[in-house]
Amino acid sequence: MELLDGKSLSGELIDSVKLEAEKLKPTLAVILVGEHPASMAYVKNKKKACERASIGYREVNLPTDIAQDELIAEVEKLNQDDEVTGFIVQLPLPDSIYVPEVIRSIDPKKDVDGFQAYNLGKMFLSSEFEDLPPATPSGIVKLLDHYDIPIQGKEVVVVGHSNHVGKPISVMMLNRNATVTTCHIHTQDLVSHTKRADILIVAVGKAGLITGDMVKEGVVVVDVGINRNDDGKLCGDVDFDSVSGKASYISPVPGGVGPMTVAALILNTIHAAKRQV
């Protein structure tokens, strides 16, 4: 079994854009609403990555009780701000805010998370039209490519059908000619699907959902979950101990997909800046 080391690849990718960043002088802005502890940790990593890549960084901190129209007004300000070449609204948002409406207000050319309908739509056409692809799925593809893991013709099983990971990674795997099965909470017999997977991508948010008896020998496992177990330790959706015994490759948590999301965000930030010069 080999680890899919997202941490080290992420560092390489971030370092690789430094020269370009020094020329382009992009700025990434992050809108952070409230003080959600996990979000604060993720945002800190994004800030560190910007510093490492010589990308300008700006944080817009807003109170939890902000009204939806006030938040959208902040998005509009960043849409208009020529210094900001890309920005994201860190999720989750408070329940009082309707996320799709906020995402809809982001200018697609600055949408470096790749959450906007325009960017998701381009991804639907084919891999050559992926322009600002959603960050986490894009990071997953880069991780698989780095380890020369073939995708074409493979049985890819995705567990989870979220707008930000499960659905877009299913499409990106289809773009690379995999045979894709997307499972979710209503799937009747999850094990019958996971057992067939050559590549298993799990993005549910449920610690230990996938165990060794649910996968076949030699499977490639990508664990997108970030959970805390009973001891407060970070863990994924995959029971690492039992699954790693059967897997040919497995991404660890932490150190797998998480850093790759940050790397993909940085690459999107460079790409967006290039198209604005």
What residues line the site for ligand GUN (CB under 6 A)? Answer: 42, 88-91, 113, 135-136, 261
Q: How far is CA 104 from CA 66, 99, 107, 118, 133, in A?
A: 18, 9, 8, 9, 16
Q: How far is the CB of 46 from ligand GUN (least distance, A)?
A: 9
Given a contact cutoff of 8 angstroms between Cβ atoms, the answer to whether 167 and 159 are in contact is: no
Core vs surface per residue 222-245: b (16+ CB within 10 A) or e: bbbbbbeeeeeebbbbbbbebbbe
Which of 166/194 has CB closer to ligand GUN?
166
For residue 220, give the 3-state DSSP assignment: strand
For ligand GUN, the closer of residues 43 and 157 by Cβ is 43
User: Which of these is catalytic: 113, 131, 198, 239?
Assistant: 113
Smallest separation, CB 188 to ligand GUN (Å): 29
Tell me which residue has its CB nearest to ligand GUN. Answer: 91
Catalytic-residue membership of 5: no
Nearer to ligand GUN, 72 or 91 (CB): 91
Are the C-beta atoms of 180 and 198 separated by less than 8 Å?
Answer: no
Please, what is the minimum distance in Å from the beta carbon of residue 266 to ligand GUN?
A: 12
| In the complex, minimum distance from the CB of residue 221 to ligand GUN, in angstroms, rounded to a whole number | 20
Based on CB atoms, which residue is closest to ligand GUN, 198 or 236?
A: 236
Query: Measuring CA to CA, how many Å separate 197 from each of 14, 94, 187, 192?
Result: 31, 36, 15, 10
Catalytic residue among 46, 110, 154, 167: 46
User: Is 148 among the residues known to form the active site?
Assistant: no
> Cα separation of 22 and 202, whole Å?
36
Q: Which one-letter DSSP state was computed for residue 214? A: G
Closest to 57 measured CA to CA, from 47, 68, 43: 47
For residue 90, indicate whether it is catalytic: yes
The residues that are catalytic are: 46, 90, 113
